[in-house]
């Protein structure tokens, strides 16, 4: 019995047992003679009858659900196609650069593929962000406490610790003033592959940042340091028209917690260009750096030349002969290795003809300008009896030539390698499939994460659609806004338990008119102040990142003529929370 059938069976069995309990209260003599719901003393024949009835009802309900989910799946494929898609494995790839060969900037574009072979099984990963290999490297990282024996920013007040990162040019004759550097991107590997506490420390406790070389010092605004988890151009999973950016960020946050480890100092190249030297010291002045961290810093705590990649790639599916004897046919990525590929989505379908391939349109993608007689297709997902995620394809022809009994279809798919990447150990070498000469070798920093399979539960999908349809009102115009926000998080989290939802203790909204500055002009605008109280003991060392994600979720609801301001406070703690600046809807459109 598959896990899905088991859930149907257990639900029906509980329903029958509940009905029999009601029967026992109404007719105790008859129930007693049959020994209903008496556990150990129940008649085995009665038990088998009850379980048989539950199994029959479960099969019937499952078949009814399987006949109608196509409508719901097509609806969600229009509104939010990524909601039901498989979430593939992720791992960070590190390029071990040979300094003498990396004397010029090299760019590996987003979407480049990398091949990893383990136990003679190949897995393909796709970069979800471009990798910029700059002609400098991190020579050393250390931490120290006050008093400092090096220049400090004049605005420094409360910092008692400093993290020093020594940057060195790969070519001693190439100075930082000669490099074309934009933003400074780095990956926080942390201590013993755990980075959460250090990320929160950098985001919340960095009072000042400076660059020094000898006696020269340049101050960097600390608000330039941020995690890229909420960057709109840093979305890892596929996005489609109609997707809300806040839910895309929330989906990535739950699927890939390591995404917060990719950090950036915005436009640091402007400050670095002021140094006519091949070595500089980048210093983070930190408040309340734990003493146990001081001895743990090494050059591997922060990494350059590291890019995220997911096990998702495009592949041409097996040709299919469709004779219309069935409502749908299975989509197969590779007939020789069916278990090695999992279809994530069907991107396009073509009919193979003697004159070439003719593209078919998705059934709900046509408009009034489309040919009503043109063939159309639709895909649907289901679990088979072995518990495997399967994709089916249906094709509709308004009229088929009498002499033609079947059509041959070709598909373009997005696929992953299922659970195979989970067996790849950290440190495994990878080969880049891009036509770019790289000054080093790729390797995997961490064992790839396990793929996640979103539930095909129709009730959850309907609730998600209702939430999207209600928009901001689903969070504000409710008797209990705290529960509403918790439900929003649970609907976008694929885990059974969602600690982020449990961590939310209170949500309050206040509508007001307040001054706000837009494009240098001060105006009065109506808006909403949102306060979220979070228990950071339940949340763990993730307070700052989670606050950023919440701000992005609420900002997506900001209408053109209103503003939203989010503040996240700590429950039962004197430690300060995070208050974000006002976000006006017109700013989001610029």
Domain boundaries, the chain: 3-67, 135-303, 313-416, 471-588
Q: Which of 400, 408, 383, 380 is nearest to 392 (CA)?
A: 380
pLDDT, tens digit (0-9, with 9 covering 90-100), for 519-571: 788 889 899 999 999 998 888 888 999 999 999 999 888 888 889 999 999 99
pLDDT digits (tens, 9 = 90+) for 423-468: 999 999 999 999 999 999 999 999 999 999 988 777 888 888 888 8
In terms of DSSP bridges, do strands 106-108 and 279-286 run parallel, antiparallel, or are they unpaired?
Answer: unpaired
Whether residue 362 contacts residue 73, with contact meaning beta carbons closer than 8 Å, is answered with no
- For residue 528, the Cα-to-chain-centroid distance in whole angstroms is 27
CB-CB neighbours of 402 under 10 Å:
6
Predicted pLDDT of residue 467:
82
Segments of the chain scoring below 70 in pLDDT: 35-41, 65-70, 193, 366-372, 401-402, 588-590
Is 63 exposed, middle or buried, given 0-12, 13-18 or 19+ CB atoms closer than 10 A? exposed
Interacting residues of 269 by C-beta distance below 8 A, sequence separation 6+: 179, 180, 181, 182, 183, 184
Q: Is the peptide bond before 147 cis (omega within 30 degrees of 0)?
A: yes
Transcribe 393-441 into DSSP letters: EEEE-S---TT---EEEEEEEEEE-TTGGGGPPTT-EEEE-SS---SEE
Q: pLDDT value at position 419?
A: 93
The arrangement of secondary structure in 471-588, i.e. its CATH architecture, is 2-Layer Sandwich (3.30)
- In angstroms, how far is CA 214 from the centroid of its own chain? 43
Residue the block writes with tokens 């989290």? 493
State residue 206 phi and psi, 5-degree precision. Answer: -80, 110
DSSP state of 369: T
Please report where in the chains the tokens 């743990």 appear, as a residue: 296
Q: How many CB atoms lie within 10 A of CB 44?
A: 7
Smallest CA-to-CA distance from 539 within 568, 490, 577, 504 is with: 504
Q: Are strands 389-396 and 376-383 parallel, antiparallel or unpaired?
A: antiparallel
Element (H, E) at 39: none
Phi/psi of residue 25, nearest 5 degrees:
-70, -35
Tokens of 426: 């950290």
pTM of this prediction?
0.84
Q: How far is CA 63 from CA 2, 5, 57, 97, 456, in A?
A: 14, 10, 10, 56, 14
- Give SS3 for 537: helix
* DSSP state, residue 374: S
Q: H-helix or E-strand containing 188?
A: strand 184-188
Listed in sequence order, the residues at least 6 apart from 201 whose beta carbon sits closer than 8 Å to its beta carbon are: 286, 289
**Contact call for residues 433 and 114 (beta carbons, < 8 A):** yes
Burial 486-520 (b: 16+ CB within 10 A, else e): bbbbbbbbeeeebebbebbeebeeeeeeeebeeee
Its sign, for the CA torsion 181, 185, 189, 191, is positive
Whole-angstrom Cα distance, residue 39 to residue 355? 69
Closest by CA position to 527, among listed 499, 495, 555, 490: 555
Q: Alpha-carbon distance 418 to 342, whole Å?
A: 6
**Burial call 153-171: b when 16+ CB within 10 Å, e when fewer:** beeeeebebbbbbbbbbbe
Q: Is the dihedral of CA 351, 352, 355, 357 positive or negative?
A: positive
Residue 588 has a pLDDT of 67
Paired residues of 523 in beta bridges = 516
The residue with tokens 């495997």 is 388
Contacts of residue 357, Cβ cutoff 8 Å, sequence gap at least 6? 350, 351, 410
Residue 385 and residue 456: Cα distance in Å, rounded?
A: 15
Using alpha carbons, select from 180, 175, 176, 200 the residue that is nearest to residue 188: 200
């Amino acid at each position: 019995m598959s896990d899905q059938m088991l859930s149907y069976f257990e639900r029906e069995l509980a329903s029958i047992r509940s009905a029999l309990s009601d029967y026992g209260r109404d007719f105790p003599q008859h129930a007693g003679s049959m020994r209903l719901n008496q556990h150990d003393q129940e008649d085995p024949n009665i038990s088998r009858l009850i379980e048989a009835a539950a199994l029959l009802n479960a099969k019937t309900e499952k078949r009814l659900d399987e006949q109608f989910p196509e409508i719901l799946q097509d609806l969600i494929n229009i509104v939010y196609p990524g909601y039901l898609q498989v979430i593939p494995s992720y791992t960070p790839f590190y390029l071990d650069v040979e300094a003498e060969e990396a004397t010029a900037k090299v760019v590996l574009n987003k979407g480049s593929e990398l091949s990893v072979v383990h136990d003679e099984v190949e897995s393909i990963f796709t970069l979800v962000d471009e990798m910029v290999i700059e002609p400098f490297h991190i020579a050393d990282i250390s931490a120290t406490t006050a008093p400092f024996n090096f220049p400090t920013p004049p605005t420094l007040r409360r910092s008692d610790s400093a993290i020093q990162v020594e940057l060195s040019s790969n070519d001693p004759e190439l100075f930082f003033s000669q490099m074309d550097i934009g933003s400074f991107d780095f990956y926080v590997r942390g201590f013993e592959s755990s980075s959460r506490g250090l990320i929160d420390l950098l985001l919340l406790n960095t009072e000042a940042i400076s660059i020094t070389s000898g006696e020269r010092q340049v101050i960097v605004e600390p608000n330039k340091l941020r995690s890229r988890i909420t960057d709109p151009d840093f979305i890892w999973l596929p996005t489609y028209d109609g997707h809300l950016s806040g839910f895309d960020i929330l989906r990535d946050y739950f699927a890939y917690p390591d995404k917060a480890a990719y950090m950036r100092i915005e436009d640091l190249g402007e400050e670095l260009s002021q140094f006519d030297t091949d070595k500089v010291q980048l210093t983070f002045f930190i408040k309340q750096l734990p003493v146990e961290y001081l001895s743990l810093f090494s050059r591997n705590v922060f990494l350059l030349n590291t890019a995220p990649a997911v096990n998702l790639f495009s592949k041409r599916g097996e040709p299919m002969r469709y004779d219309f004897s069935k409502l749908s046919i299975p989509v197969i990525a590779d007939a020789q290795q069916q278990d090695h590929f999992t279809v994530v989505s069907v991107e396009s379908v073509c009919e193979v003809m003697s004159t070439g391939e003719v593209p078919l349109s998705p059934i709900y993608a046509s408009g009034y300008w489309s040919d009503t007689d043109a063939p159309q297709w639709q895909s649907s997902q289901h679990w088979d009896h072995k518990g495997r995620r399967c994709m089916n394809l249906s094709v509709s022809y308004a009229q088929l030539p009498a002499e033609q009994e079947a059509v041959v279809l070709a598909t373009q798919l997005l696929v992953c390698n299922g659970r195979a990447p989970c067996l790849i150990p950290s440190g495994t070498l990878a080969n880049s499939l891009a036509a770019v000469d790289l000054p080093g070798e790729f390797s995997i920093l961490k064992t790839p994460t396990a793929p996640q399979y979103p539930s095909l539960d129709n009730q959850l999908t309907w609730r998600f659609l209702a939430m999207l349809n209600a928009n901001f009102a689903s969070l504000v115009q409710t008797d209990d806004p705290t529960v509403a926000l918790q439900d929003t998080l649970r609907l976008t989290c694929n885990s059974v338990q969602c600690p982020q939802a449990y961590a939310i203790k209170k949500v309050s909204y206040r509508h007001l008119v307040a001054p706000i500055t837009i494009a240098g002009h001060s105006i009065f605008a109506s808006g909403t102040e949102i306060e979220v109280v979070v228990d950071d003991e339940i949340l763990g060392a993730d307070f700052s990142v989670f606050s950023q994600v919440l701000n992005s979720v609420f900002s997506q609801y900001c209408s053109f003529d209103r503003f939203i301001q989010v503040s996240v406070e700590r429950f039962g703690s004197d430690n300060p929370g995070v208050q974000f600046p006002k976000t006006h809807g017109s700013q989001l459109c610029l």
